[in-house]
A and B are shown apart, each in its own frame.
Chain A
Amino acid sequence: MKKFKLDFNLIRTLIAIGIALLLALIIILLTSDEPWAAFGYFIAGPLRNPKRFANVIEAMLPLVFTGLSVSIIARTGVFNLASEGSLFIGGAVAALCGVLLPLPSVISPVVILLIGGLAGMLALLIPTLLRVKWNANEIVSSLMLNYVLYYLGTFLIRTFVRDPDSGYLQSTAFHAEADLPVIIPGTRIHAGAAVALICVVALYLFLFRSRLGYKIRMVGENPKFSFYSGIPYALSIFAAQAVAGFVCGLGGATEMLGMFDCYKWTGLPGYGWDGIIVATLARNNPAWVPLGAFFLAYMRVGADIMTRMTDVQNEVVSIIQGVVIILLVAESFLAGWKKRRTFKEATEGVQLEGGAKA
C-alpha cells in the first residue's frame, strides 16, 4: 500500500506539471507570432548546447540548499519563512570574510562556508526563539526578519567592505584564496555542487535515519502523539531550525564564493521563496530536492532563452510555477482517482481488514 501511495504522489506531481505546461503552451499560442519556435526554446532550449545546460546546474545549486532547508522546516509543522533572509545573511557574511580574512587557500573557503552557515543558523533561530520566549507568531516574525536581515547585511557590506570606486553597492574583491574553484572547465559549475550533494545525502540520512531526525518528524506529524510519547518538543524544533538555518547560510556562502568575486547582490535574491516551491515539489524529502531544484532551474533557463530568442515574455514561468504549486497543495486534486484505486484494491480482497479477524 505504501508503494501505491508513493506512485500516487509521483504521478500527481507529474500530472500537475503536465497540466501547467499545457497551460503555458496555450498562453504562448495565444500571445506569440511564432508560438512553436517559442515553445521549442522553452522546452528544449537548455539542451541545445552544453553551456546552457551548465547554466541550469548553476541556477539549481542555491535552490538545492533552500529546498533542503524548507523541507526540514516544513517537517516540524512550524512555519518559519526566514530561509530567504538566512541565505542572504550567509552570503553577506561570506562576502565580508572573503574580503577581510586573509587565509591560505583550501582552508579559506572551508572556514568561510562554515561561518556563513553559522550566520544563517543564528538568523533562522530568531523566529523560533521569539515564539518560545514571547509567543510571537513565527510566520509574521520570520517574514519581517527577512527584511531586517537584508538591511543588516547591506549595512555590514556598506560599512566595512564597500568598493568606494563603484557607483552601486558592491564590495572590493575577495581574496583569491577564498574562491570556490570551477570543477567543470568551460562552465561556471563550482565546488559548491559537491557541497550541495553532500548536504542532500547528509540531510536525507539525518531526517530518516538519525534519532533526532525521527523526533523532528514525529513532532511535526503529530505534536500530541510526541508529547505523550515523551519526545521533547522544543528541542526537536530547535534542532530542526538550526540545521535548516545552517544549510541556508551555507547555500548563501557557496553562491557568494562560487559565482562572484565580490559582493554584488542588489536585493534579496529570492532563493528562499524558491525553496518553498522546490520543497513542495520534493514533498519535503531531501532525496527529491535536487530533482525539484533541477526542474525549477531548467524552466527558468528555458524561459530566459525563449525570451531572448522570441517575443514571449518569461512571466510564463511564474504561471507554470503557480499552477503546479496550487495543484500540488490542493488535497483533492486527483483524490477521486485515488479513491477508486483504493476501492478496487479493497474489494478485490487483497487484504481485508474486516472486523472479526481474531
Chain B
Amino acid sequence: MKQEMIHRDPDDFPIGEEILRMSGITKVYGNGVLANENVNFSVKKGEIHAIMGENGAGKSTLMKILFGNEQPDRGEICFKGRTQTIESPKKAVELGIGMVYQHFNLAESLTVAENIVVGQEPGRGILFRQKSAYDAVEELARKYAFDIDPKSRVRDLSVGKKQKVEILKILYRNSELIILDEPTAVLTPQETEELFHQLLLLKQNGYTIIFISHKINEVKTICDRMTIIRAGKTRGTYEISELSANDISVLMVGRDVVQKIEKPAAKPGKTVLSARDLRYRNEHGAVMLDGVSFDLRQGEILGVAGVEGSGQRELAEAVSGMLRPEGGAVYLDGREITGKTPGEVRALGFSHIHEDRMTYGVAKNVSITENLIANRCASPELGGKAFFDGKKTSALAQKLVEEYQIVCKTPSVPAGMLSGGNIQKVVVAREMSVEPQVLLANQPTRGIDVGAVEFIHERLIRDSREKGCAVLLISSDLNEVLEMSDSLLVMYKGHISGYFADVSALTEQELGLYMLGLKRQSEQELKEALHEKV
C-alpha cells in the first residue's frame, strides 16, 4: 500500500485572509432538534477564533458539519476561496482540516505513534514503517513542545495526554485548520495552561485554530476573535477586546450574568453511606480502585473531584451495585450492600444519576412516562400488583414534567426526541423524586444548557438541605465541585489523594495539584473523611 504524506505548505495562503466561510448553515437532527439555524461563520488564516455558546447551543454540530461528520440541510462551506462539499471526515482531512472531538477517538490498545500515523503510514516495509513512524512523531512532538512518549500505549495515558495525541495526529496529517471542541473541559488548570502555550506556538507557525469553549476567561486569554452562538443562531462575531465578560455572557445566555446559587450551610447528620478499602482492577488489569474509603452523611454534599479516568466511574458503579469490587465493603444505613444488585441497592433508598444519560440514563425509543417509572416497577402507588394503572402513571409523569420543567409536547413523546438538557432532567426527575436517602450524582450536568444546569444544582442543594438527602457528587467540572460540595474528595489513580472538610477554603490551583497527583495528603489527614467506625 503506497501512501504519500500529503504535502501542503501552511504558508501558501496569506495570513489574515478569510480561509473559511460557512454561510446559511441549517441542521435538523433526525429527532427534530433544530441545532443550527442559518449560521454564518468565517475564520481568518492564522487566528485563534473562539466559538462561544452555552451547552446545547449547537457549537459541536456546526463543527461536525465542517468536518464532514454531519451533513447540513441547507448552507454552503467555502474553504480557501473554493466552495466545497465535505461529505466525510476523510474529505475534510484532505482539504487540510483537523478536529479534536469532545470525546476522543483513539485506539486504546495501540501506541501513541500508531494512533498518530494510522491511515497515513510512511514507507512500505513493516519494520521500516514502525521506526520512521516513531521518529516522525518524536520530531513533531519536540517541535511543538509536546511532552509525550510515542511508544507508550494510549490506554495508559491520562486524559490530558490523550488530547495531545489527538492534536499531534492532526499536525501529522498536515492540517492547517485545527478545530478543538471544548478542549479544556477535561483538563486541570495546570494542563490548560500547558495547552494554551502550545496553541500559541501553533499560531505563530501559521496554523489557524477554532477554539470552542464556554469559559469566558479562557477565551480572553488566547483568542483573537470570537463568534457567539445561542440556541442554534449566530449572535455576531467580535474582536476579543470589543466585549467585556459581562457583554459576552449576556450574548451567550440571553440574559444577565448567572448569579451564584445560594447555599445554606450544611448540617451533616448521621453517616448513611460508607465505603471501606474498595479495590478493583479493570479487564486490562489496571488498578482502578486502590483502597478507597469515605463516609457520606445525611444532609451533606460530598464532592468527588479528579481527572477523568481516575477511578470515579468504578467508584460510582461499586457503590451502586453495578460492579462487584474485588475487595472492601460498602454500607448503606449500616447494612452491608457489597455485591448486591442495583435493584436491591435501590430498594434500600439509593438513587443514581448515571454519567452516561444516553446509554444508561434513558431508553431512547420509549416514552418519557415509561422512562420516569423505571425505578418504580414495584411501587404500590402506580397501580395493582400485576398491572400499572395508566391514569396514575400519566399523572405522575405530568407532575414530574411540570415540577422538573422538562420541555416536551407531552410525556408520551419518546425520550430520545428531547434535547440533551431535557433528557438529563428526565433522569434527574426520576432519581430525585423517589426521595432517596442517598443520591449518587455522577456528572449530573455534563453537556447541558445553563438553564438546566442551574435547575439541577438548585434541586440538589434543596434536597440535601430540606430533605436531608445525602449527595455524593462526582464531577470533572472544577467549578461544579467547588461550588456545590460541602466537603470534597480528590481521586488520583484509583486512590483518594486529598479530603477537604471545608471546600470554601480550597482554591482551584490547589485542587489541580491534588488532581494531578503532585500533592497527596498523609494517611492521618485522609482519616478525616471517615466519621464512623465500621
Q: Which residues of A contact B (CB under 8 A)?
A: 1-2, 5, 205, 209-212, 214-215, 217-218, 221-222, 224-232, 338-339, 342-343, 345-347, 349, 351-358
Contacts and interface: CB of A to CB of B under 8 A. Distances in A.
B206 interface: no
Interface string B257-299: 0000000000000000000000000000000000000000000
Interface stretch (B13-21, B144-152, B417-425, B517-525): B417-425
Contacts of B418: 353
B374 A225 contact: yes
B375 interface: yes
Contact of B370 (A1, A214, A353): A214
A356 B232 CA distance: 9
Contact of A1 (B34, B58, B409): B409
B63 to A, nearest CB: 15
Given A1-B409, A225-B359, A227-B342, 15 more contacts: A218-B370, A218-B374, A221-B366, A222-B359, A225-B360, A226-B374, A230-B342, A230-B377, A232-B343, A352-B231, A353-B34, A353-B407, A355-B53, A355-B57, A356-B450
Interface of A is mostly: helix
B341 interface: yes
Given A227-B322, A342-B28, A351-B409, A356 B231 contact: yes
17 contacts: A1-B32, A1-B413, A2-B410, A2-B413, A210-B386, A211-B383, A218-B366, A229-B375, A230-B342, A230-B347, A343-B28, A346-B33, A349-B34, A355-B58, A355-B421, A357-B421, A358-B452
B390 interface: yes
B359 A224 contact: yes
Query: Which residue among A1, A212, A231 has the maximum number of chain B CB atoms within 10 Å of its CB?
Result: A1
A357 B455 CA distance: 12
Given A211-B377, A342-B32, A354 B362 contact: no
A224 B363 CA distance: 9
B169 interface: no
Contact of B34 (A5, A230, A346): A346
B55 interface: yes
Interface string B344-363: 11110000101000011111
Interface residue tally on B, bucketed by range: 35 or more
A357 B363 contact: no
B53 A357 contact: no
Nearest to B374: A229
A253 B322 CA distance: 43
Contacts of B449: 355-358
Contacts of B387: 205, 209-211
Of all A-B residue pairs in the complex, the 5 with the closest CB atoms, nearest first, are A358-B451, A230-B343, A354-B231, A355-B56, A229-B374
Contacts of B28: 342-343, 346-347
Interface string B370-388: 1001110110000101111
A230 B414 contact: no
B54 A357 contact: no
Given A221-B363, A355-B53, A228 B354 contact: yes
B441 to A, nearest CB: 14
B374 A231 contact: yes
A286 to B, nearest CB: 16
B360 A228 contact: yes
B503 interface: no
A231 B366 CA distance: 15
Interface string B490-518: 00000000000000000000000000000
A339 B32 CA distance: 9
Contacts of A212: 386
Interface of B: 26, 28, 30-34, 37, 53-58, 73, 230-232, 253-255, 320, 322, 341-347, 352, 354, 359-367, 370, 373-375, 377-378, 383, 385-388, 390, 407, 409-410, 412-414, 417-419, 421-422, 449-452, 454
A113 to B, nearest CB: 23
B407 A217 contact: no
Contacts of A210: 386-388
Contacts of B390: 209
Contacts of B352: 228
Contacts of A218: 363, 366, 370, 374
Contacts of B58: 355
Contacts of A229: 342-343, 346, 374-375
A142 to B, nearest CB: 25
Contacts of A357: 231, 407, 419, 421, 449, 451
A343 B343 CA distance: 40
A227 B54 CA distance: 32
Nearest to A344: B28
A356 B31 CA distance: 18
Contacts of B231: 352, 354-357
Contacts of B31: 342
A211 B255 CA distance: 45
Contacts of A228: 320, 322, 342, 352, 354, 360-361
Contacts of B56: 354-356
Contacts of B253: 356
Given A209-B390, A214-B388, A339-B30, A354 B232 contact: yes
Contacts of A355: 53-58, 230-232, 419, 421, 449
B388 A211 contact: yes
Contact of A356 (B57, B73, B363, B409): B57
B451 A356 contact: yes
B516 to A, nearest CB: 31
Contacts of B34: 346-347, 349, 352-354
A205 B387 CA distance: 9
B363 A222 contact: yes
Contacts of A205: 387
B102 to A, nearest CB: 15
A216 B483 CA distance: 41
B414 to A, nearest CB: 7
A214 B342 CA distance: 18
B30 A342 contact: yes
Contacts of B343: 229-232
Contacts of B54: 355-356
Given A211-B387, A225-B374, A358-B451, A230 B341 contact: yes
A214 B387 CA distance: 9
Given A1-B413, A356-B450, A357-B407, A345 B342 contact: no
Contact of B363 (A225, A343, A345, A352): A225
A219 to B, nearest CB: 10
A338 B412 CA distance: 20
A40 B383 CA distance: 52
B354 to A, nearest CB: 6
A339 B28 CA distance: 9
Contacts of A232: 341, 343
B11 to A, nearest CB: 38
Contacts of B360: 224-225, 228
A358 B425 CA distance: 12
Contacts of B419: 353-355, 357
Nearest to B378: A211
Given A211-B387, A228-B354, A221 B413 contact: no
A49 B454 CA distance: 70
Contacts of A343: 28, 73
A224 B254 CA distance: 38
B440 to A, nearest CB: 11
Contacts of B409: 1, 351
Contacts of A358: 255, 449-452, 454
Contacts of B73: 343
A78 to B, nearest CB: 17
Contacts of B254: 356
B131 to A, nearest CB: 43
Contact of A231 (B26, B359, B377, B407): B377
